[in-house]
Structure 1
Amino acid sequence: MTATDTRPQDVPAPVARRGSRAGWIAVAVWAAGIAAVFAAGWYLRRAGLATEDALPPLHARARSHPLTGRMAPAVAAAAALVAVLPWAASRVRWRVLLAVAWAGAALWAVALAASDGWGALARPLDAPTEYPAGLAQVRPDPLEWLRTFTERLGGYTTHVRGHPPLPTLTLWALEKAGLPGTGWAAAFVIAAGTSAVAAIAVTLRCVAGERAARAAVPFLVLAPLALWVATAMDAFFLAVGAWGTALTALAARRARPAAPDGARRDGTRPAVAAAVAGGVLLGGLPYLSYGLLPLFAVPLAVLLLIRPRPRVLAGLGAGLVVVPAAFTLLGFWWPDGVRATLDTYLVSRGSAQRSYAYFLFGDLAVLALLTGPAVAYALPRTAHVLWRAARTRAVSPAAAVALPACAALLGMVVLDLSGVTKGEVERIWVPFAAWLVAAASLRVTGPVRTVGSVRTVGSVRADGARWWLAAQAVTALAVQALVLSPW
């Protein structure tokens, strides 16, 4: 069921016009929906009905003096990336492109955060509610801390008691490795979070072909969600999920790779090893955040597209049980952690007090900000290619890009409807939203050959891509200039 990379074909003008019209309607709905949700939040707060956040639906506040001159480095980084990324996506070698994508994503995230000063990179982790503030309780005896984690949950900092033990233990391990302090923690989170761009590109190459993956890279790099990659711990969660999925896709794809001479060589052992490694990472997701269970829809979509050999599935299954087994043997029972966290959530005066009805729509508006107008423009085509794939039972490269994106969207909708996520989703959505961003490439790639004055470069329509990349960058710059976030 893996997608095959086909040559572009001309699309009739009426069909192209209808698709373009649907895309612009989606962008109008995107803008109007965001404006309406912020207006409703302002009204509710003014009426005293929403006091948990200063700028609902964001857990943030509006800047009294919008950033201007200090945004110059971020503006320069955006301009350079908009100019270079479409060219690089079409011209440089694949492995070099992955390095460029990682570096570009790190540059973009750091440039945005540094507009508040270099200290802003680590400042979010300095808050007394964050994970590093809870390390003092771990240092004397990490094993005892883990065994008693659930029963002592109420005495921990907000983020420690709101999550399983693995994020705190990760920072403790970083400290034990000789990298103490929130500066090193911030560098680790940013490096890990931005590496997810390469992981998602690798996954898309496995399921949709290299041309489709190359086209998605510029949008993955310049996604507005970079605002919360520097620095929210959820960026690390993004990396774990993305690399776990990428290793799973590589394992499924390379079980029996073809040799250059056309013969076939047995690649089962490396594939199984990759599957085990991917399973270990994916098995750690529920121990990073209880809300990451719906993210398993993404690797499931990848497996449906590639249909791996049984040995690869066995290796994946073996890897999936490693982290749960280790934590259980060391004294942390995951269902008890869920129940204890839910109890502390219900008795708190934080997110549990937020309006379900408002944040049912507010969370989606925040998702729209994280993904940007380019994704909104591509959503009608995304739905169309999936409908066509379901009807014809033939998966095109575009459908292979769309399926993981829609799987991530489904996970977010499930969380939104459940009421577990009411506010603060600008960070919670990050591990999911990055997959949805890849769908933005469907409007500048795929089975459409450009004609006339629009230049075609490989699989990327460079002129069209740059306009939408610029729109993505402007969205992120506007939010950074107008909104002060604790992350």
Structure 2
Amino acid sequence: MTVTDARTRPDTAGTDARRWSRPGWIAVAVWAAGIAAVFAAGWHLRRAGVETEDLLPPLHARLRDRPLTWRLAPAVLVAALPWAAARLRWWTLMPLAWAGAALWAVALAASDGWDALAGPLNAPTEYPAGLAQVRPDPLEWLRTFTERLGGYTTHVRGHPPLPTLALWALEKAGLPGTGWAAAFIIASGTSAVVAIAVTLRCAAGERAARAAVPFLVLAPLALWIATAMDAFFLAVGAWGTALLAVAARRDRRPVPAVAAAVAGGLLLGSLPYLSYGLLPLFAVPLAVLLVMRPRPLVLAGIGAGLAVVPAAFTLLGFWWPDGVRATLDTYLISRGSAQRTYTYFLFGDLAVLGLLTGPAVAHALPRAAGTLWHAARTRTLPPAAVVALTAGAALLGVFVLDLSGVTKGEVERIWVPFAAWLVAAAAVRGAPPRGWLAAQAATALAVQALVLSAW
């Protein structure tokens, strides 16, 4: 395929908005009806005593006794910020986009009070509760991680050891406690807005990246940026992919390009050691590499970087396949996800993905699919098709996990590293209409007002 540079040729997929208007609205209707049907089915199944693990299936949450009102006012004010993005220079836009995403996530979470920012991390099931077992001897803890898995907290035993070690390292750096951990998660998770924008700029051009930024900032998934550890996973995957995209640019000199490739590979190589469910996320950087076709030297740098973390963990005594088997064993005998119904959550998990991405993405998906189909027929890749391809790769990863059955329930946090890339699909229409940005913000505000989440 030929990649069409947005700086030299028009985006043909963005010139026929009327053609995709009707399919887009049909997709929004399906989005809304599907979410409503899944919640209605969840209510019925819970009353029948089938789905009792969650108070508000398919979410691991409950309805608020009283909906939030005036406490959401700061979040409403923050939601107005991204509309000025088109007027800013690129290197001014990037830090402001990061700050805007952080403000949006914090404003939503703080509507429950400032304690809500670190509150989820104080639960006895979370990673910080397991740090006491790491402190005496981290290397011994890592060597015996698999054999002692059953004695750890829920989130520690449900993941590889790297997330817990990351919080231990934060503590050793002089930033102890869940307050600092929350700040670290929010700061890193919201920085993914910049990483995804940089990736799109390298692969699809600045115009496409600019169009995506407001949607990335106001994505409803911000509800689970503060404070689920999966926001950190999002950042690692997004920055790894961004570094690969930077390295793959043909105008880069060999030494900086290889350095970026090694760094990107290093980050991406850590993904399986953050969560076993992040393997399908590799579809996104693979799509970027297929589009950009980096030089062999860059590919060699990526390969070298990818090998570092697996080699280090193996040498230190943690064998990844053993960790997968041990985690699966504890998963099958525990309560929670293993007790949930596969058929219901097969559809319910996709409805939750719809909540994370919002109606603007639903409206854009038919157009994104049509753009990809046109690109395949003409063997060209206009910017909109590149954006659609990365979003499609993330959606493919979601489908793989959903069909596997190991992600039944609690996916509002698990989908975060995938959903952010899918949100970028809203940019295939070009400059973001204010109405769709408002719809994205309204979705997040409505969920926050009505639902009390564990994260």
Q: Secondary structure at the match of 2:380?
A: coil
CA contact (8 A) 1:3 1:305 kept: no
1:380-403 C-alpha deviation (Å, 9 max, x unpaired): 000000001111110000001110
Rounded Cα–Cα distance in structure 2 between residues aligned with 1:9 and 1:294: 29
Q: For residue 121 of structure 1, what is the aligned residue in structure 2?
A: 117
CA contact (8 A) 2:61 2:451 kept: yes
> Residue 410 of structure 1: which of 380, 396, 404 is its match?
396
CA contact (8 A) 1:251 1:274 kept: yes
Deviation at 1:12, TM superposition (A): 11
Rounded Cα–Cα distance in structure 1 between residues aligned with 2:5 and 2:353: 31
Deviation at 1:341, TM superposition (A): 0.1
> Residue 137 of structure 2: which of 141, 145, 158 is its match?
141
1:161-212 C-alpha deviation (Å, 9 max, x unpaired): 0000000000000000000000000000000000000000000001100011
Asked if residue 286 in structure 1 is aligned to residue 253 in structure 2, the reply is no
Asked if residue 482 in structure 1 is aligned to residue 454 in structure 2, the reply is no
Asked if residue 354 in structure 1 is aligned to residue 351 in structure 2, the reply is no
1:431-485 C-alpha deviation (Å, 9 max, x unpaired): 0000000001112x1xxxxxxxxxxxxxx26xxx211000000000000000000
What pairs up with 1:372-451 in 2 under 5 angstroms? 372-443=358-429, 445=430
Q: For residue 453 of structure 1, what is the aligned residue in structure 2?
A: none
Rounded Cα–Cα distance in structure 1 between residues aligned with 2:159 and 2:310: 15
CA contact (8 A) 2:11 2:382 kept: no
Rounded Cα–Cα distance in structure 2 between residues aligned with 1:71 and 1:394: 45
What pairs up with 1:259-338 in 2 under 5 angstroms? 267-338=253-324
CA contact (8 A) 2:397 2:418 kept: yes
Asked if residue 106 in structure 1 is aligned to residue 92 in structure 2, the reply is no
Q: For residue 86 of structure 1, what is the aligned residue in structure 2?
A: 83
CA contact (8 A) 1:146 1:331 kept: yes
Rounded Cα–Cα distance in structure 2 between residues aligned with 1:2 and 1:195: 27
CA contact (8 A) 2:162 2:273 kept: yes
Q: Secondary structure at the match of 1:61?
A: strand
Asked if residue 242 in structure 1 is aligned to residue 210 in structure 2, the reply is no
Asked if residue 48 in structure 1 is aligned to residue 44 in structure 2, the reply is no
Deviation at 1:362, TM superposition (A): 0.1
Q: For residue 260 of structure 1, what is the aligned residue in structure 2?
A: none
Distance 1:210 1:300, change over 3 A: same
Deviation at 1:331, TM superposition (A): 0.2
Deviation at 1:160, TM superposition (A): 0.0
1:279-314 C-alpha deviation (Å, 9 max, x unpaired): 000000000000000000000000000000000000
Q: For residue 198 of structure 2, what is the aligned residue in structure 1?
A: 202
CA contact (8 A) 1:223 1:370 kept: yes
CA contact (8 A) 1:189 1:236 kept: yes
CA contact (8 A) 1:284 1:324 kept: yes
> Residue 177 of structure 2: which of 157, 174, 181 is its match?
181
Distance 1:277 1:10, change over 3 A: closer
Rounded Cα–Cα distance in structure 1 between residues aligned with 2:70 and 2:98: 27
CA contact (8 A) 2:357 2:420 kept: yes
Rounded Cα–Cα distance in structure 2 between residues aligned with 1:302 and 1:383: 17
Q: For residue 23 of structure 1, what is the aligned residue in structure 2?
A: 24
Between Structure 1 and Structure 2, how many residues are aligned? 453
Bigger Rg, structure 1 or 2: 1
Deviation at 1:18, TM superposition (A): 3.2
Q: Secondary structure at the match of 2:142?
A: helix
Q: Secondary structure at the match of 1:421?
A: coil
The amino acid across from 1:391 in the alignment is: R
Distance 1:181 1:392, change over 3 A: same
Rounded Cα–Cα distance in structure 1 between residues aligned with 2:11 and 2:101: 32
Q: Secondary structure at the match of 2:67?
A: coil
Deviation at 1:77, TM superposition (A): 1.5
CA contact (8 A) 1:125 1:231 kept: yes
Aligned structure 1 segments of 4 or more residues deviating by more than 4 angstroms: 6-13
> Residue 437 of structure 2: which of 469, 478, 483 is its match?
469
CA contact (8 A) 2:118 2:227 kept: yes
The two structures have a TM-score, normalised by structure 2, of 0.98
Deviation at 1:17, TM superposition (A): 2.9
Q: For residue 165 of structure 1, what is the aligned residue in structure 2?
A: 161
Deviation at 1:7, TM superposition (A): 4.9
CA contact (8 A) 1:411 1:432 kept: yes
CA contact (8 A) 1:23 1:377 kept: yes
CA contact (8 A) 2:13 2:428 kept: no
CA contact (8 A) 1:245 1:282 kept: yes
Asked if residue 211 in structure 1 is aligned to residue 179 in structure 2, the reply is no
> Residue 365 of structure 1: which of 351, 354, 363 is its match?
351
CA contact (8 A) 1:3 1:207 kept: no
Q: Which runs of 5 or more residues in structure 1 are unaligned?
A: 258-266, 446-459
The two structures have a TM-score, normalised by structure 1, of 0.91
The amino acid across from 1:486 in the alignment is: A
Distance 1:12 1:159, change over 3 A: closer
Q: Which runs of 5 or more residues in structure 2 are unaligned?
A: none
Distance 1:117 1:12, change over 3 A: closer
Rounded Cα–Cα distance in structure 2 between residues aligned with 1:376 and 1:325: 41
Rounded Cα–Cα distance in structure 2 between residues aligned with 1:390 and 1:472: 30
Q: For residue 224 of structure 2, what is the aligned residue in structure 1?
A: 228
The amino acid across from 2:308 in the alignment is: V
1:3-50 C-alpha deviation (Å, 9 max, x unpaired): 41155479999x543310110000000000000000000000000010
Distance 1:16 1:70, change over 3 A: closer
